[in-house]
């Protein structure tokens, strides 16, 4: 089975270089880099590399647009997506292909290199309205081509949460996601980390949008949104109590959550009735053909 690897990137030149070095060692059929409007010399660095088959330049700062632009140019029987901040570990390609021989989608763990050792993640799954959803890391996933085309790629309405939305739509069509412990990627984590600053409006717009789009007008949409909001509100209030955040920011976050949730819910219902097919993706891969502003194809 041939495998194309798509790497969406935006101002990640140094991390991307390490990512591409590791990918090249795994010898996939082709590597496709999709570069957003970077200003750090990414294009020049990529064009100098002989191991990158295609460089696609886009003018949008959206990972899902970049993923679909890479899918446009890929030729493999399987299509993988790797985050530029991650490096694939030895045996990644073989593990991906072995898993895809038995499953529709393959994913695996991320190893975080910490000062005290190495942390790793595990499989995450949920059951919503009788549907079993297995989530995957959008920066370490491989699809059978027929499967990624069946769900029409990623939803470009979303600027965050595109992989989680795809997981719901995969489950809706009974496609299986298999976890391979050998399909590993790794990343370095800063020692001090710092506070987790989030765009609460985008986060909750994404959450309510994908729930409304995939499950319609149903109490589970509001229930899950409120449950997430209560958990985040508690953690934010704890930061206020410890002096790590200001009370005004807590109230501001609440307004952002409300605005994002209401807007996302309305847009999600609109999207659900715009595309009533099993794809549930009115803003998907087949919706447009004008993503690329320049393409450098060395194949």
> In this predicted structure, what is the pLDDT of residue 201?
83
Continuous H helices in the chain: 13-26, 42-47, 63-73, 92-100, 145-150, 162-172, 200-215, 219-241, 247-274
In 3D, which of 127, 97, 121, 118 has the Cα closest to residue 108?
Answer: 121
Could you report the per-residue pLDDT of 87-96, keeping only the tens digit for each?
Answer: 999 999 999 9
For the chain, the domains span 3-107+124-180+282-297, 200-274
Quote the CA–CA distance of 200 and 205 in Å, as a whole number.
8
What's the chain's average pLDDT? Answer: 87
Which architecture, in CATH terms, is 3-107+124-180+282-297? Answer: Alpha-Beta Complex (3.90)
- Which of the two residues, 153 and 239, has the higher pLDDT score? 153
Could you report the per-residue pLDDT of 230-277, keeping only the tens digit for each?
Answer: 655 545 545 545 555 555 554 456 677 778 788 989 999 999 999 999
- Evaluate whether 271 touches 214 at the Cβ level (below 8 Å): no
Q: What is the mean pLDDT of residues 1-6?
A: 96
Longest dimension (CA), the chain: 58
Q: What is the mean pLDDT of residues 152-161?
A: 96
Could you report the per-residue pLDDT of 62-72, keeping only the tens digit for each?
Answer: 999 999 999 99
Could you report the per-residue pLDDT of 160-187, keeping only the tens digit for each?
Answer: 999 999 999 999 999 999 999 999 999 8
Best-predicted range by mean pLDDT (11-25, 101-115, 243-257): 11-25
- Evaluate whether 206 touches 193 at the Cβ level (below 8 Å): no
> In this predicted structure, what is the pLDDT of residue 219?
75
> In this predicted structure, what is the pLDDT of residue 170?
97
- Give the phi and the psi of residue 118 in degrees, each rounded to 5: -120, 130
> In this predicted structure, what is the pLDDT of residue 224?
65
Quote the CA–CA distance of 124 and 137 in Å, as a whole number.
10
Q: What is the mean pLDDT of residues 30-46?
A: 97
Helix (H) / strand (E) containing 80? strand 78-82
Q: Is 241 helix (H, G, I), strand (E, B) or coil?
A: helix
Residues composing the chain: 299
Alpha-carbon torsion, ordered 258, 166, 174, 181, to 10 deg: -110
What distance, in Å, lies between the first and last C-alpha atoms of the chain? 18
């Amino acid at each position: 089975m041939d495998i194309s690897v798509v790497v969406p990137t935006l101002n990640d030149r140094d991390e991307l270089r390490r990512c591409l070095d590791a990918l090249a060692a795994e010898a996939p059929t082709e590597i496709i880099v999709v570069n957003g409007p970077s200003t750090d010399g990414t294009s020049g660095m990529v064009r100098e590399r002989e191991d990158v088959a295609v460089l696609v330049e886009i003018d949008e700062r959206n990972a899902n647009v970049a993923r679909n632009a890479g899918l446009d140019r890929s030729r493999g029987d399987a299509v993988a997506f790797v985050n530029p901040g991650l490096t694939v570990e030895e045996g990644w390609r073989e593990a991906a292909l072995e898993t895809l021989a038995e499953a529709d989608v393959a994913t695996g763990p991320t190893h975080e290199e910490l000062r005290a050792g190495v942390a790793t993640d595990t499989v995450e799954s949920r059951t919503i309205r009788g549907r079993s959803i297995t989530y995957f890391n959008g920066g370490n996933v491989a699809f059978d081509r027929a499967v990624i085309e069946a769900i029409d790629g990623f939803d470009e309405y979303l600027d965050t949460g595109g992989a989680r939305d795809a997981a719901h739509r995969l489950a809706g069509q009974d496609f299986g996601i298999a976890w391979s412990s050998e399909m590993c990627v790794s990343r370095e984590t800063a020692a001090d980390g710092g506070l987790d600053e989030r765009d609460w409006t985008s986060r909750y717009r994404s959450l309510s949008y994908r729930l409304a789009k995939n499950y319609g007008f149903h109490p589970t949409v509001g229930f899950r949104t409120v449950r997430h909001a209560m958990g985040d509100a508690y953690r934010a209030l704890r930061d206020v109590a410890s002096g790590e955040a200001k009370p005004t920011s807590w109230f501001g976050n609440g307004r952002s959550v409300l605005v994002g949730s209401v807007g996302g819910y309305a847009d999600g219902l609109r999207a659900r009735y715009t595309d009533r097919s099993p794809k549930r993706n009115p803003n998907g891969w087949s919706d447009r053909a004008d993503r690329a502003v320049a393409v450098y194809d060395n194949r």
